[in-house]
């Protein structure tokens, strides 16, 4: 009994197909081989993609460290010196495009000060920092800096209009003695450059009651000297 080749090609027994229609059998075997190759290729591609995804390295985030030594200042993208950072040496500079309006905290090398500006050409709002500043949000200068100036020893004391070094600031050195008229009876916290002391006076020309600060003072309210400074003396500590 002979099977039509069309029928034999659909029979489940390959030996019967081979005897009935050799040409159809050969074609069927070629199709089976091609199907296996395609399945293997698909499997290899899927494995390769999975392996690539598994081995993809996570994004690297720079961690905060101590106050910079080789660098004069380090700027951080988050408060409390967290996230990525960029550091700079002495001089005048502007931040790179990817750091424009990105800084939320900074660390300053002892003996230096940093004057930050709102715009690239050292203009707009400005703020001077001596020592470390963990939170520019509280200073209302978060994600604001576009350029800055680094100075060595030019600012030895900074006065702030609110407690915890918040609000506007006025920084100066030992050459000053009187608070500017816009800062008379306005200071609520003070930062002192390491290695210095500052004596605060109630009235102009070192008159009235006074207190001496040997380091940073975040709250003059607790010292009962809030909004009371009219003159001051800066000196090097022994």
Instruction: Provide CB contacts within 8 A for 238, sequence distance 6+.
Output: none
The neighbouring-strand residues paired with 212 are 199
What letter does residue 200 receive in the DSSP assignment? E
Distance CA 13, CA 69 (A): 82
User: Average pLDDT, whole number, for the chain?
Assistant: 77
CA 104 to chain centre: 7
Distance from the first to the final alpha carbon of the chain: 119
Choose between 79 and 15: higher pLDDT.
79
In total, the chain counts a number of residues equal to 238
Domain ranges of the chain: 13-48, 73-236
217, 226, 181, 218: which is closest to 198 by C-alpha? Answer: 217
Query: Does residue 105 register a pLDDT over 90?
Result: yes
Helix or strand run (H / E) with residue 208: strand 207-213
- What are 131-174's pLDDT values in tens digits? 888 999 988 899 999 999 887 766 789 898 999 887 788 888 88
pTM: 0.56
Displacement of CA 173 from its chain's centroid (Å)? 30
Distance, CA of 29 to chain centre: 64
Q: Which residue has the tokens 């399945």?
A: 39
- The answer regarding whether domain 73-236 maps to CATH 3.30.420.40 reads no
**Which has the closest alpha carbon to 148: 188, 192, 201, 90?**
90
Determine what percent of the chain is predicted with pLDDT higher than 90. 40
Which of 60-64, 100-104, 111-115 shows the highest mean pLDDT? 100-104
């Amino acid at each position: 009994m002979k099977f039509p080749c069309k029928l034999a090609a659909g029979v489940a027994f390959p030996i019967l197909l081979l005897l009935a229609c050799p040409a159809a059998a050969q074609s069927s075997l070629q199709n089976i081989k091609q199907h296996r190759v395609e399945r293997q290729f698909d499997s290899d591609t899927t494995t390769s993609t999975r392996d690539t995804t598994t081995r993809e390295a996570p994004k690297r985030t720079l961690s905060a460290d101590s106050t910079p030594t080789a660098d004069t200042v380090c700027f951080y993208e988050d408060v409390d010196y967290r996230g990525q950072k960029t550091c700079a040496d002495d001089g005048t500079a502007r931040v790179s495009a990817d750091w424009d309006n990105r800084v939320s905290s900074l660390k300053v090398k002892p003996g230096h000060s940093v004057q930050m500006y709102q715009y690239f050409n050292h203009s707009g709002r400005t703020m001077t920092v001596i020592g470390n500043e963990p939170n520019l949000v509280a200073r209302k200068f978060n994600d604001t800096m576009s350029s800055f100036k680094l100075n060595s020893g030019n600012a030895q004391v900074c006065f702030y209009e609110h407690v915890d070094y918040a609000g506007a600031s006025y920084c100066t050195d030992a050459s000053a003695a009187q608070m500017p008229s816009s800062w008379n009876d306005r200071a609520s916290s003070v930062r002192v450059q390491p290695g210095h002391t500052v004596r605060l006076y109630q009235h102009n020309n070192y008159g009235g009651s006074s207190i001496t600060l040997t380091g940073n003072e975040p709250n003059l309210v607790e010292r009962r000297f809030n909004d009371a400074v009219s003159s001051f003396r800066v000196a090097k500590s022994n």
